[in-house]
Amino acid sequence: MKFLILTNHSYMLWQFRRELIEALLMQGGVVISTPFVGHEKDFAAMGCRCIETEVDRRGINPTKDLKLYHRYRDIIRQENPDMVITYSIKPNIYGGYACKKLHVPYCVNVQGLGTAFQKEPIASVVTIMYRMALKRAKTVFFENQANADVFVHRRILKETSVTVLNGAGVNLNRFVYTEYPAADKTVRFLFLGRIMKEKGVDELFEAAERLKQEYGDQVQLDLVGFFEDSYKARVEQLEQEGVVVFHGFQSDPIPFYQETNCVVLPSYHEGMSNVLLEAAAIGRPLVTSDIPGCREAVVDGVSGYLCPKQSTEGLYQCMKRFMQLGHDQRKQMGMEGRRHVEEVFDKKKVVAATLACVEP
């Protein structure tokens, strides 16, 4: 068998799908069409063949998008795969449509709704495009039920075409339970991800400022990840005031998970947050938004706290509530998080469920 994977980011594919690709390689050949932004050599070492393909991830340019469709059509014709697997919105739409026109079997991964369904008229346009592209997909994978319901409600898909997975899962052998940090006068919160509005950083920064005023040196917020340009001045200001410690992008998040007391992610929308799953697997409590893609990772009040979306007050109260816990209570929360991930989000189970669907 020959599998062709269409994606918009080689680095992210490596981070979250390498175990699936290893399993696919045991069944045949794997070709990956992707922009080269990291780990191409690692995929080659596994036995994959990579085709560099430019994808404008954020822009809406009809000329570029038409070019991408033709590029996918040519690749599919040349490779003649038994099954195509797509990830992210443009590969899903333009790759899916090319597969439909060429009568090649394909499976699609919707990893979250992002901003595409947030505003009109973009939501209506994307709905029509997805409806055309997914019409003959063998199955469409979703990372939470709420996202799948949106596609069914918008008549993009029938329920029979939907498969809901528990996100990408988490590799429990890589993200192993690590002893909770020793009791210390400072409680460290960690935000790991892109510093952008939709991750809830406005609310997070305001809550962190309030906690700093109240607790002083007893609280610290670590930031790990890229910030969007609009947040550069804000992050620098918070650093100067001692509210946050900014670590920049880090290729290995594990040491930061291990050293923190609690991971906080007040996101507005997610497919399934890998950050939350990874942190819980290592045994760290979570504070996150009560939204699809986040709430599934938390047993509220047991392994962490859920707060209302876009609520500075709600987020502040959850973080303060965590501050008021004793060391042993925080440690127990982390252990409960690990147990929850083992039961629900083991990557081996997710890979097995995916393989059962992608066979032509």
* Spatial distance between the Cα atoms of 161 and 317, rounded to a whole number of angstroms: 41
What mean pLDDT comes out for the span 325-334?
Answer: 98
Q: Which element (helix H / strand E) includes 287?
A: strand 286-289
Average pLDDT over residues 221-244: 95
Q: How many domains does the chain have?
A: 2
Q: For residues 296-321, give the mean pLDDT.
A: 98
Question: What residues make up the domain containing 289?
Answer: 187-344
Q: Which pLDDT band holds residue 60 (cuts at 50, 70, 90)?
A: confident
Residue 300 banded pLDDT, cuts 50, 70, 90: very high
The mean predicted confidence, pLDDT, of the chain is: 95
Q: Is the pLDDT of residue 288 over 90?
A: yes
Q: Does residue 176 lie in a domain region?
A: no
The predicted-structure confidence for 71-109, as pLDDT tens digits, reads as follows: 999 999 999 999 999 999 999 999 999 999 999 999 999
Question: Is the predicted pLDDT of residue 303 greater than 90, yes or no?
Answer: yes
* pTM score of the predicted model: 0.92
Local confidence band at 352 (pLDDT 50, 70, 90 cut-offs): very high
Same domain, 311 and 351: no
Give the per-residue pLDDT at 117: 75
pLDDT digits (tens, 9 = 90+) for 124-155: 989 999 999 999 999 999 999 999 999 999 99
**3-state class (DSSP) for residue 59:** coil
- pLDDT confidence of 123, banded at 50, 70, 90? confident
Same domain, 213 and 328: yes
Is residue 175, in this structure, part of any structural domain at all?
A: no
**Are 197 and 112 contained in the same domain?**
no
For residue 102, what are its two tokens? 């060429």
Do 158 and 285 share a domain, yes or no? no
**Segment 23-48 mean pLDDT:** 96
How many CB atoms neighbour CB 177 within 10 A? Answer: 18
pLDDT for residue 118: 74
| Burial state string for 291-322 with b = 16 or more CB within 10 A and e = fewer than 16 | bbbbbbbbbeeebbbbbbbbbbebbbebbeeb
The alpha-helical segments, DSSP class H, found in the chain are 10-25, 40-46, 62-79, 89-90, 96-102, 122-133, 145-153, 201-215, 232-240, 254-259, 274-282, 312-323, 327-344, 347-358
Same domain for 141 and 11: yes
Report the side by side order of strands in the sheet with 83-87.
Answer: 49-52, 29-34, 2-6, 83-87, 106-110, 139-142, 162-164
Which of 33, 46, 35 has the alpha carbon at shortest distance from 11? Answer: 35
Q: Answer whether 196's CB lies under 8 Å from 44's CB.
A: no
- Say if residues 199 and 266 touch (Cβ distance below 8 Å): yes
Say if residue 136 is in the same domain as residue 230: no
Which residues face 32 on adjacent strands?
5, 50
Is it the case that residue 12 has pLDDT exceeding 90? Answer: yes
Q: Which residues contact 124 (CB under 8 A, 6 or more apart)?
A: none
What is the band of 258 on the pLDDT scale with cuts at 50, 70, 90?
Answer: very high
Share in percent of the chain as helix, strand, coil (round to 5): 50, 20, 35
For 113-135, b/e burial (b = at least 16 CB within 10 A) is: bbebbeeeeebeebbebbeebbe
Domain contains 174: no
Residue 112 clears pLDDT 90, i.e. is over it: no
Mean pLDDT of 236-250: 96
Q: Does 58 score more than 80 pLDDT? A: no
CA atoms within 13 A on the CB side of 164: 16
Same domain membership, residue 335 and residue 317: yes
Question: Do 78 and 194 share a domain, yes or no?
Answer: no
Q: Which of 275, 269, 276, 252 is nearest to 111 (CA)?
A: 269
Residue 353 has a pLDDT of: 95
Distance CA 240, CA 303 (A): 33
Predicted confidence (pLDDT) at residue 211 exceeds the cutoff of 80: yes
Question: Domain with 68 in it: what CATH number?
Answer: 3.40.50.2000
